Amino acid sequence: MKFYENGDGLTEPRGFFCSGIHCDVKGKKDGKLDLGIIYSSKPCHAAAVFTTNDVKAAPVRYSQNLIQDPEATYHAIVANSGNANACTGKQGEMDAIKMANETARHLKVQPTQVFVCSTGRIGVTLPMSKITVGIRDASEDVLEGFDGAKAFQEAILTSDTCTKSCAAVLTTPYGEICIGGVVKGAGMIEPNMATMLAFLTTDAKASNNYLQNVLQKAVNQSFNRITIDGDMSTNDSVIMLANGNCGIEVSTEDESLDHSFQKAVEAICQCLAKKCVTDGEKVTKFVSVKIQGALSNEDAEKVGRCVSNSLLVKSSWYGSDPNWGRIVDAAGYAKVGLVFEKIDMFYDDVAALRKGEPVHNNKTQWKEIVSQSAFSITLDLNQGTGEAEIWSNDLSEEYVNFNKSE
């Protein structure tokens, strides 16, 4: 597998086109791109995973309904930033439908073949007169074959500081399969999932059911393993489109190809998830929290999330303070029955605790490690074989200043 950590992303697979335009969703007249379309003239099979929040935005509910049909095909995704169309009542539901209808009208497809996504401020209705004009312009661009991969990436950003994309190429006995991906997300990032929109495209051929199984597994090993600030959003969506343009069908019948495809999708999702964490709002450090030796994987994940979401722990990371006491305290309130006297802990590969006893001679090295922009923390509970890994970051005073008002 060849892997590309940047680039055009979604338009790397054959037959996909993107656009991104400015329609002034927020009314600032700043020229920021804020609406985009992903399009394939060839019908696509699809899979999608959405937020588990009880409060779901109108476009999430709309798109969830579309993905229920195992035989359905799709042509496009329309997405806007600057306004989440969440908690907007019946008007919000009608606006999500209108976004699909307008996109379908210009692309000459069915509304049920268009997914709708939004991201931005909650509780404000969309400026639909601007949105409809934007959809018209964005549709014209993809129909003309406009090279708008980068423009689409910019159009979905909110508080992100950069675009995030990647691609993978699988060489198979039948030819090459390409998979591309992009993501936006910088705040309200918590597993299951985040204030995040992620889109994947592939020129492979596959059924909806197969793609759903592949995507769900990949999401569980990536986007459901990140946390920035412990908040869960209303609009989180991961959508994958497969148009079959390479002529290679992927299914469980070919075990080798199935395995390679699954690993490639997982690699795409993991790359994008890590990019979200490193671009978290006012973040200065990327921290991998690894839990080993738990009684079960579920217990390990509980411990990892408690450590990764602790405000005290995240604040100490920002201050480059190797405060292992805060870490084991957070691990303890996961309430999985860990025994402190059994715990081994490491900053990268440098021991901090051995069977609950501090290794004070390594204190200088602890400080050096947590002063870096990226490091790992490993807790071995020495109780079983359960393990988990969570990708997190620090918490700065700049985060509070940034989020104290919208």
HEC string for 287-350: EEEEEEEECCHHHHHHHHHHHHHCHHHHHHHHCCCCCHHHHHHHHHCCCCCCCHHHCEEEECCE
For the stretch 259-294, pLDDT in tens is: 999 999 999 999 999 888 877 666 788 999 999 999
What separation in angstroms does the CA of 404 have from each of 57, 283, 334, 397, 401? 23, 16, 29, 11, 5
Q: Which of 53, 277, 59, 314 is nearest to 185 (CA)?
A: 277
Quick check: helix, strand or coil at residue 18? strand
**Bridge partner residues of 205 (DSSP):** 249
Is residue 327 over pLDDT 70? yes
Structure tokens at 224: 């459901």
Looking at the chain, the whole-number percentage of residues with pLDDT higher than 70 is 93
For the stretch 108-151, pLDDT in tens is: 999 999 999 999 888 999 999 999 999 999 999 999 988 899 99
Alpha carbons 125 and 88: distance in angstroms, whole number: 6
Annotated active-site residue 195? The verdict is yes
Residue with tokens 């690699």: 267
Structure tokens at 363: 């204190």
For the stretch 213-228, pLDDT in tens is: 999 999 999 988 887 5
Q: What is the pLDDT of residue 188?
A: 40
Q: What is the mean pLDDT of residues 62-71?
A: 95
Q: Which of 195, 202, 227, 378 is catalytic?
A: 195
Are the C-beta atoms of 322 and 345 separated by less than 8 Å? Answer: no
Alpha carbons 350 and 359: distance in angstroms, whole number: 9
Q: What is the pLDDT of residue 235?
A: 86
Q: What is the mean pLDDT of residues 307-333?
A: 93
Is residue 229 over pLDDT 60? no
Q: State which amino acid sits at residue 200.
A: L
For the stretch 174-194, pLDDT in tens is: 999 999 999 997 544 344 433
